Each structure stands twice: as C-alpha cells, then as structure tokens.
Structure 1
Amino acid sequence: MTGSPLADAVLIGIVGLLVGSFLNVVIYRLPLMMERQWADECTQYAQDSGLLAQASQPAEKAAERFNLLVPRSRCPSCGHGIRWFENVPVLSWLALRGRCAACKAPISARYPLVELATGALFYACAAKWGWTATTAVWCVFCAALVALTFIDWDTTLLPDDITLPLLWGGLLASAAGLTAVPLTDAVIGATAGYLSLWAVYWGFKLATGKEGMGYGDFKLFAALGAWFGWQALVPIILLASVIGALVGIAMKFASSLRDGKYVPFGPFLAGGGFAALLWGPGRIMQAVFSTLGLA
C-alpha cells in the first residue's frame, strides 16, 4: 500500500499483468491436462475390464509430468526454453518483436493482450475499491473469467476446475460481506442461473434433437448469479445473447465459423459478467436496448 489511490491501482494493475502471464499458461495447459486425464481414465477402465493389457513400464508415465508448473514453457516450434527475461509481461513480446528468440517463429499477439486485459481489469478493481479485500476477491473473479473466456473460445470447454470454485467463491464472498450482494440473493442467483440455462438446454434438445450449449455454461451462469445476485441474470443473459448473435452472424458472413457452425457461448457470458462488474446491470440494459434500437 503506497498511500496514493492511483499508485495503489497501478501497482495492482502490474500484479494483474503478472497474473495474466500465468493465465496464458492456464489457458493453454489446462485443456491438455483434462484430455490427458480423460485418456488415462479410459485406459485404466480398459485395463480393468481386460480389454487392454496392463502397462509394462508404469515408471515412464510418472516421469512425464505435465501440469501448470512443469515442464518449463517452451517455443512450440523449436523447443527453446523460455528464459525469465523473455517472459516479462508485454515488454518481452515487444522486445522480441513478437518472435521466438531462437527460431524467430511468430508468437501470437494474444499473449500480451491477455496480460494487458488482466492488468486493466485488476487496475479497474483497485480504482473502484482501493487496497481492500473486496478488490482481491474481484481480481480473482476477473482472472477466472479471463481464463474461461479463452479456454472456451479455443476448445468449447468450461472446466469445472474453474467454474465450480468461481461459484463457491461468489457465495463465500457474499457471506463474508465482500460483495454488495446479500447471501440470499447470491444463493437464488446461483440456483436461478443454473436452472434457467438447464431448462433452455433441454427445451432446445427436445425440440431439435441437438445440444445448443454445454453444461459448463449452466455452471458459469450460476457463478455469475452468485457474484451479482439474481437481479443481474436477465441483463447479463440479454447482453451475452445479443453480442453472441452479432458475432456469430459476422463470422458466418466472413466464413470463419469452425466445424459444426457453432460459436461458444461462454465468452459472451463472461463478457456480460465483466460488463456487470464495470458498469452495473442497469447500464447493461441500456446498452442492450440501444443495440436493438429500442432506446
């Protein structure tokens, strides 16, 4: 704590840049870790069922550690280990001109953008609430949403490892008085958020025989209900639906829709959560009505 609100916000924003650098690791590795876990479970089931011979060299598997901390980050093109001074948020990417120090392969601009977005969100939280526990919990909220946004966009997965702690975190933060949402409203918000999208999912599936969204969307919307209360659910879902539809239409005309012609919904739910945090549900409704030409 520096004593200056602006300096405190800048300092926490810098912490956000560092957290954003770690989120890049989470975004890339967590889906791979999930896939490996599923593959291991399938293999174990096949072995237990006698459909597959038992592995003869289990020790090799133990040596292949892969998690959020190990192995060290490397260039996917040449395997060059990223040194600490090549991993300074934003600055290293600029100094390297967006290329690997060893093989000069391009490094996606998304890495510094994730860092900048996280830093900006941390700064906004600190500017609003100062050097407080409330700032800390909302910074955790922002970090979780950033990770979920990009994981879902890349893989259409919303990992339980993030959505469920986010849900419980919102309820605990409400119970501790760290958000402006009464605990009753948070519990109702979590319940209504989950059940509303669950009902939409089953209604769409019964009507069309297709799945319009995944269970992760239910859990994410429930988490948003826990953080913002049931009153914010309608503004958030309206904003997410409108922006999602506009993006989907734009991608269709640009022929950039992926196989299956789908657009993941999680990033737009997360966007509604960011809007609720920064501007409040009332401003969201005004923005939606303006977008639809109703204002």
Structure 2
Amino acid sequence: MWLEAWMPVLVTGVLGLLIGSFLNVVIYRLPKMLERQWAAECAEAMGQEAPDSEPFNILVPRSRCQKCGHQIRWYENIPVLSYVFLRGKCSACGTPISLRYPMVELATGLLFAWCGWRWGLTPTAATWCLFTALLVAMTLIDWDTTLLPDVLTLPLLWAGLIASALHWTQAPLADAVWGAVGGYMSLWLVYWGFKLATGKEGMGFGDFKLFAALGAWFGWQALVPIILMASVIGAIVGIGMKLMSSLREGGVVPFGPFLALGGITAMVLGPQAILRAVGL
C-alpha cells in the first residue's frame, strides 16, 4: 500500500534526476551550438569557410573533462551519486567539478517528484514535468549568457497552448491564448517605452516570448502574480549581488531566470497564493 501510494513520486523523481543530468548537457552545449551556427551563417554570407567543421551537438562528442579531456564513463555520470563518490573531482586529473551539476539534477528530480505527487502518473504530470525541465534549462542558460533561445521558448509556448486544448492544464484555451498575447505584448510595451525614454534596451525579446509562454500555461489571470513574483525575486537577488559587489560589468542582471522562477512558484503554490503573499 505504501509503495503504491509513493510510486508516482519515486518514478517521476528518478526520471527527474536523469533528465537533470541531460539538462546539464543542454545548458552547456546549446549556447555553443548557437554560436557555431551564427558563425557558420556569417562565414557563408561572406563567402568564407565555416570556422568549426567538427560535429558538435547535444549528443556528439561524448562528455569529457574540460581540463584534461578525460572521457566521462557511464558510472561517472550517475546523477548526484557519481558526484558524491568522485568527491566532486575529475577521476583522471582531480580538477574540481562544479557543484551546479548535481544541484541541477537534484532540483529537477525534486520538481518532477512534486509533479508526480500532485498529479500522479498522468499526462498532466508529464506535461508539467516538461514545463519544469524547460524552465530549469532556460534559467541557467539565460543566467550564463543573457540568452533565451527560441528553440526553448517557442516549444514551451506551443506546449502550453496544446496542453490547454487537451485539458492537461487548468487554463481554458481562450485564457491560454490571451495569456500568451498579454504576456508578449506587456513586456514588448515596457521594452519600447523604456527604450524611447532612455535610448537603452532594458530586456531582450526572449523575455517577451518566455512571459508569453507562461501566460499560455497559466492563463491571462496569472500574468500579474507571475510578474510580481519575478520582480520580487529579481530585486532580492539584485540587491544581494550589489551588496556583495558581484554584479556583472554594466550591472546587467538577466530577467529571464526570475520569470522562470516566478512560473515555477506559480506551478507549486498557485497564482492566487502569490497574490495573497504580497498582500493583494
């Protein structure tokens, strides 16, 4: 009886750990793949040979130590456990492995397990697991590069609309469509208002698409709670970084990670709980 009750949590949690390991590859390689693609397109436009001809994608080449080139064996790539057994170091050269790798795996596993606890082994749970996986990847890619790739934001948007049409989310399709429209247009207007007033760009177009995707998943009613939560988290992190003198050159802090965290908070607590938490 106990095992039957907790089976969805165990299955989704283990799946989340595995997906988290894959997300680490996506987070590291996708921006480099895009850079290579842009470089190749520029070279082609100028009639030159592409600078990088060796295959490089999510699957090729196999993962290896960035310091010594040691190829990661399968038993050195078990989520979380391998990091513990290796004591956070490369088995060949002893170079420290970033703690972020097991943290991404653990965070993804916990979020997947929560989806399994909330919705069981159902299409709805699988849908929200996809939602969390894409947001985890986008959070760290944007934090590292200030880039929100279309290859992630647009599938998230369409997945939200499709999930709504299939009744796998609570947002009716009409609310999801207007959520997507409202999410995109609201930040688009803020962007142009700020640019006309200051001559500077306050955010990227990827932020518009990510907010539109969140509107598609939760409906237009959730846009205000999500942007409020994102702003609060962003303000706390920004102030903390300023006090610790860890802001990047120019004081740039990407907004995408905070939008993503606002979306995850809305999934776990619900948009109305966010409004109650801020006294609205």
Structure 1 counterpart of 2:217, from 203, 227, 251: 227
Aligned position for 1:292 = none
Which aligned runs of 4 or more in structure 1 are off by greater than 2 angstroms?
286-289
Identify which of 75, 94, 107 aligns with 1:117: 107
Q: What residue in structure 2 maps to residue 263 of structure 1?
A: 253
* CA deviation after TM superposition for structure 1 residue 247, in Å: 1.0
1:67-146 equivalences under 5 Å are 67-146=57-136
Instruction: State how 1:148-227 maps to structure 2 within 5 Å.
Output: 148-227=138-217
Per-residue CA shift, 1:220-277, capped at 9, x if unaligned?
A: 0000000000000000001101110121111111110011211110110001101110
TM-score (normalizing by structure 1): 0.92
Q: Matched residues in 2 for 1:254 and 1:61: separation?
A: 39
Q: Distance in 2 between matches of 1:87 and 1:28?
A: 15
Query: Shift of residue 288 of structure 1?
Result: 2.8
Match of 2:46, SS state, is: helix
| Structure 1 unpaired stretches of 5+ | 48-53, 290-294
How many pairs were matched up? Answer: 279
Q: Give 1:50's aligned residue.
A: none
Scaled by the length of structure 2, the TM-score of the pair is: 0.97
Q: Deviations over 1:195-242 (max 9, x none)?
A: 000000000000001100000000000000000000000000011011
Q: Distance in 2 between matches of 1:137 and 1:101?
A: 37
Contact in 2 for aligned 1:167/1:222 (Cα 8 Å): yes
Q: Which residue of 1 aligns with 2:43?
A: 43
Distance 2:52 2:184 in 1: 38
The sequence identity of aligned pairs, in percent, is: 66
Pair member with larger Rg: 1
Amino acid at match of 2:104: V
| Alignment deviations for residues 60-80 of structure 1 (CA, whole Å, 9 cap, x no partner) | 965x00000000000001000
Letter in 2 for 1:23: L
How large is the RMSD of aligned CA atoms in angstroms? 1.4
Cα deviations by residue, 1:77-114 (Å, 9 ceiling, x for unpaired): 10000000000000000000000000000000000000
Contact preservation (8 Å) 2:36, 2:52: no
- Secondary structure of 1:260's counterpart equals helix
Correspondence for 2:264 among 261, 269, 274:
274
1:20 paired to 2:10: no
| CA distance, structure 1, for counterparts of residue 10 and residue 127 of structure 2 | 17
**Which residue does the alignment assign to 1:288?**
278
- Partner residue, 2:235: 245
